[in-house]
Structure 1
Amino acid sequence: MNVNWRAIPQANNTLAALFAACESHGYHLEVTDEPLPDVTVYSLNSINERLYRDEIAEADCVTIAGGPHPSACYREVAEYADYVVVGEGEYTLPALLAAIEEGRDPPPGVATAAGYTPADHTVLLDGYPPFGQIKGFVEISRGCPFSCGYCQTPRLFGRCMRHRAIDEIARYASRYRDIRFVTPNAFAYGSDGVHLRLDKIERLLRSLDGRVYFGTFPGEVRPECVTERSIELITGYCANTRLHFGAQSGSDAVLRRLHRGHTVEDVVRAVDLCRDHGLVPVVDFILGLPFESDDDQRATLGLVKMVTRAGKAHIHYFMPLPGTPLQNGRPRRLLLETEKTLGKLALGGRITGSWMDHEIRFFRHTSHL
């Protein structure tokens, strides 16, 4: 049976992980630019799904869709795709391929137009390689204990953090000169995500041989995790001169409604610590949240200005994502003063991102089938 992977740039790291998982079960994924027989697999997010919907519906082959959007909207996607992998794919995708090849019903974790049975397993990272023949970033942790209202991560991967063993990370990282990691929070490695285990992070960093980039895309950190000790680990063991973390809002009231689990003061402290230790803070913000008042937006704009005096800000315009508590929220229009200020900061090279075009935000991120 020929199994094809539809080439989509935003899913390159997913391809690396699932290529390795399928290979270990005897299935080779052939990367293609169009759907081909016998089976073609797609990994989609909530922006690019619309670009491939018709292609999948009209494909003259068996189609499998997975990723953040199909996982959240599996009933809708099952109307035009033959099978939908809901959630993690390392175990489910090879099991589904075997079922298709043998003419059996799909395994749990797969939706079809006929219905859906939830997955009966959780992926242990050490059970699967982070990549194989096709290289990708090394995923060191999965899951998130927080429940930010806009975020799909805890809904896709659960709120219990899982970690790859240090020896396994070091083995795959040795294939890179520049080492980067996939994780929802780099400083949460080895912990439950709330109570940090910086001793385990130090053990990890000591085990690596190469230029290590820790706490940068695609493995940012949270602002309350930025402390004297955590920054010392970056400056002592890592090559990066930047630290990337999310503030999201300059209003404590908004942060509480988002269930962010940190305060504006945590953000300010993290920025100051970065500056004091010679690191450039790169801070994410979301504007246009549904419950953001004018004063809330002005407070966020003030925090953006403060951040850009010491570093850079990355600006997103709120987009409701399916499967999240804010999936039905309507983005709030930006104030004229906000648009003008952001325009000036962008011209000065002090902010990046997009507060008008969602695709700029989402096309820089990867997804997990």
Structure 2
Amino acid sequence: MRVNWRLIKAAKNSYAALYSACEKNDIILNPVESPEDDITLYSLNSINAPHYLEEMKEASCITIAGGPHPSAMRNEVLKYADYVIVGEGEYTLPALIRYIENKSENKFENSRAFLPKGVATKEGYIKNDTCVLLDSYPPFSKVKGYLEISRGCPFKCAYCQTPHLFGGCMRHRSIDSIICASKAYTDVRFLTPNALSYGGDGRSPAYDKITRLLSGFEKDKNLYFGTFPSEVRPEFITQKSIDIILKFCSNKKIHFGAQSASNSVLKRINRGHSAEDVLDAVELCRDNGIMPVVDYIVGLPGESEEDQIHTLNQIKWVCRTGKVHAHYFTPLPGTPLHQKKPAPLIPEVEKTLGKLALSGRVTGSWMNTELRFFRKNKNE
């Protein structure tokens, strides 16, 4: 059977990871611009999913959907797709493809009994009771992607799908596996929920593990750690972590999430740090000659005008020495804030963010959330 991968800009890294996993099972994922026979795969997030659901429904081939949105909304997506993979796909996707092949050849008396766990159909769903051991699968092979070093997050921020998709326990790729994969690149960029959590439980930096990782690369590698396409948490930015980055890495920026400057909002969304932690992180970056790039979510549910002014004032302060990436809150399925409405922005927020954007100090999509996924991404 021919297995096709529907090319979607926001799913480039998923394509790289799943191409590698399928290749290990002698399955090649052929890139396509529209659904083709025999099987077409889709990896969707909650912003771009509405643009592809009807295409899946009208496809004449077998369709399989995975990614953050189908994982959280499997029953909705099953109105359009034949199969939905819930959660991680490295093991489940090749197993499902083999199942479809055997089913088409009438090799099952009761095919439902052989459906892999973690796959949902209109007939039902059995939850997967295992998780992926990262070292069992290269992060990429022929189709190149970023070098994923960790999965999972223990913080469970109320707006974030990561812990619901990958679990609350950190899993790390081994240093030897990471070093081996890095041979494909001169400039090495890492994929992880929090770069400074590498090697630990995710709640505090494991400085020894980070040092062992970064010191193990060949001297001709340009390492970008704690910047695009990943970020860190502000309370992880300490003098010790900055010293390690300055010693081993090429990046002159550190990208971290503040999300709000209101401590009451931060507590409500279970962020796990304070507004003061953000100030400390920015000052540490500034004192060490590193540009801070700070993420904010504006319009978080329940924000008052006072909360928005706190955040706006902090954004203006950050912009004196750094840059800000801001976007309007989007309720994501599978999260505690899924059913919550965004707070309307006060005019001063829109006006000031627009002014700072014109000067190049603010980027993002606080007016149109879809811009994050349908415009060309630029490295921070």
Normalising to structure 1: TM-score of the pair?
A: 0.98
Distance 1:253 1:365 in 2: 35
1:80: Cα distance to partner? 1.0
Residue in 1 aligned with 2:191?
A: 182
Q: Give the structure 2 partner of residue 289 of structure 1.
A: 300
**What is the distance in 2 between the residues matched to 1:364 and 1:226?**
30
Aligned to 2:184, the other structure's residue is in SS state coil
Task: Identify the residue that residue 328 of structure 2 maps to in structure 1.
Answer: 317
SS at match of 1:309: coil
Q: What residue in structure 2 maps to residue 45 of structure 1?
A: 45
Aligned partner of 2:122 among 101, 113, 116? 113
Q: How do residues 198-213 of structure 1 correspond to structure 2 at under 5 angstroms?
A: 198-209=207-218, 210-213=221-224
Aligned to 1:5, the other structure's residue is in SS state strand
1:141 aligned to 2:150? yes
Counterpart CA distance in 1 for 2:136 and 2:13 is 17
- 3-state DSSP of counterpart to 1:111: strand
Q: Give the conservation status (yes or no) of the 8 Å contact 1:43–1:67.
A: yes
Alignment CA distance shift 1:166-1:365 (3 Å): farther
Partners of 1:215 and 1:119 in 2: CA distance:
31
Distance apart, 1:155 and its partner CA: 0.4
1:151, 1:9 → 2: CA distance? 21
Between the aligned partners of 1:298 and 1:365, the Cα distance in structure 2 is 31
1:351 correspondence with 2:362: yes
Kept in 1, the 8 Å contact 2:42–2:66? The answer is yes
- Following TM superposition, where does structure 1 have runs of at least 4 consecutive aligned residues deviating by more than 3 angstroms? 362-366
1:302 aligns with 2:313: yes
Distance in 2 separating the partners of 1:37 and 1:167: 39
Contact 2:172–2:198 under 8 Å retained in 1:
yes
- Distance in 2, matches of 1:342 and 1:267, equals 19
User: Matches of 2:298 and 2:342 in 1, distance apart?
Assistant: 9
Say what the alpha-carbon RMSD is for the aligned residues.
Answer: 1.2
Separation in structure 2 between the aligned mates of residue 120 and residue 258 of structure 1, nearest angstrom: 28
Who is 1:130 aligned against?
139
Q: Secondary structure at the match of 1:31?
A: strand
Residue 336 of structure 1 aligns with which residue?
347
Assess if the C-alpha contact under 8 Å between 2:9 and 2:373 holds in 1: no
Higher RCO by CA contacts (8 Å cutoff, separation 6 or greater): 1
1:174 touches 1:208 (CA, 8 Å); kept in 2? no
Instruction: Specify the alignment match of 1:156 in structure 2.
Output: 165
The Cα of 1:249 is off from its aligned counterpart by: 0.2
Cα distance in 1 for residues equivalent to 2:63 and 2:235: 43
In structure 2, relative to structure 1, the CA distance for the partners of 1:365 and 1:257 (3 Å cut) is farther
Name the residue aligned to 2:255: 244
Q: Distance in 1 between matches of 2:358 and 2:80?
A: 43
Contact kept, 8 Å, 1:177 with 1:211, in 2: the verdict is yes
CA distance in 1, matches of 2:194, 2:375: 17
Q: What is the number of residues matched between the two proteins?
A: 366
Amino acid in structure 1 at the alignment position of 2:17 = A
Aligned pairs for 1:245-264 (under 5 A) are 245-264=256-275
Q: Distance in 2 between matches of 1:240 and 1:333?
A: 36
Q: In structure 2, what is the Cα distance between the partners aligned to 1:175 and 1:132?
A: 9
Task: Please state how far the C-alpha of 1:363 moved relative to its aligned partner.
Answer: 4.6
Q: Distance in 2 between matches of 1:347 and 1:135?
A: 34
Please state how far the C-alpha of 1:195 moved relative to its aligned partner: 2.9
Q: Which residue number in structure 2 is paired with residue 15 of structure 1?
A: 15
Paired with 1:255 and 1:142, the residues of 2 have a C-alpha distance of 23
Q: Secondary structure at the match of 1:25?
A: coil
Q: Which whole-Å CA distance do the structure 1 matches of 2:54 and 2:224 have between them?
A: 39
Partner of 1:165: 174
Contact 2:204 2:236 (8 Å CA) reproduced: no
Q: Does the 8 Å CA contact 1:4/1:40 hold for their aligned counterparts?
A: yes
In the other structure, the counterpart of 1:223 is 234
Secondary structure of the corresponding residue to residue 132 of structure 1: coil
1:79 Cα shift? 1.2
Mapped to 2, the partners of 1:360 and 1:202 lie a distance apart of: 37
The separation in 2 between residues aligned to 1:79 and 1:196, in whole angstroms, is: 44
Secondary structure, in 3 states, of the residue corresponding to 1:244?
strand
Task: Give how far 1:340 is off.
Answer: 1.0
Alpha-carbon distance in structure 2 between the residues aligned to 1:84 and 1:340: 42
1:364 Cα deviation after fit: 7.3
Inter-partner Cα distance in structure 2 for 1:364 and 1:302: 28
Which secondary structure does the structure 1 equivalent of 2:205 belong to? coil
1:10·1:364 contact (CA, 8 Å) conserved in 2? no
Q: Distance in 1 between matches of 2:330 and 2:232?
A: 21
Q: What does residue 86 of structure 1 align with?
A: 86
Gaps of 5+ in 2: 104-110
Equivalent residues of 1:10, 1:365 under 8 A apart = no
